Amino acid sequence: MSDQNDWNKKIIEEFRANEGKVGGYFVNTPLLLLHTTGAKSGQPRINPLAYLEDGDRYVIVASKGGAPDNPDWYYNVVAHPDVEVEVGTQQFSAHAAVADEPERSELYEKMVAKNPGFDEYRQKTTRTIPVIVLTPKA
């Protein structure tokens, strides 16, 4: 297992043990757990991600800390947009959609306002960082 997978596993365990709350680096950052299906492998994947609420939708950002490429989970939601989401103690099905402009930029600015680190991420990369909207299914 990679260091990233070990790190994610610890965050997921803490998230579930504390009704969605995580300490340390994420003490003031709301996190959700995104359940996806691997784009290539077809295997289930779980990623802890910062989010913001936009009405009844949840917004996540494929920043990968400002890396030059998108995170693996981004390709998973593009290939398989039907996902599961855990927020706090709730789990629900949702549809993931990549936001188009100008909504992408508007939502990214909202994320920066809540989590200023996202401004640094976009300054570190030349790619346009995708914003994904998770819409719960009825």
15-63 pLDDT per residue, tens? 999 988 898 878 888 999 999 999 999 999 999 999 999 999 999 999 9
Alpha-carbon span 11 to 134, nearest angstrom:
21
pLDDT value of position 2: 64
Answer yes or no: is pLDDT of 134 > 60: yes
CATH, domain range 3-136: 2.30.110.10
Q: Report the share of the chain in percent with pLDDT over 70.
A: 97
Q: How high is the pLDDT of residue 138?
A: 82
Above pLDDT 90, what percent of the chain? 83
DSSP assignment of 64-125 equals: GGG-SS--HHHHHHHH--EEEEEETTEEEEEEEEEPPTTHHHHHHHHHHHH-THHHHHHHH-
Residue-level pLDDT at 5? 76
Q: Is residue 7 pLDDT above 90, yes or no?
A: no
Nearest to 27 by CA among 8, 50, 53, 58: 50
Which structure tokens are listed for 72? 């693996």
Residue 119 Cα distances to 25, 27, 92, 116, 124, angstroms: 17, 19, 30, 6, 9
Say whether pTM exceeds 0.85: yes
Residue 4 confidence (pLDDT) above 70 = no
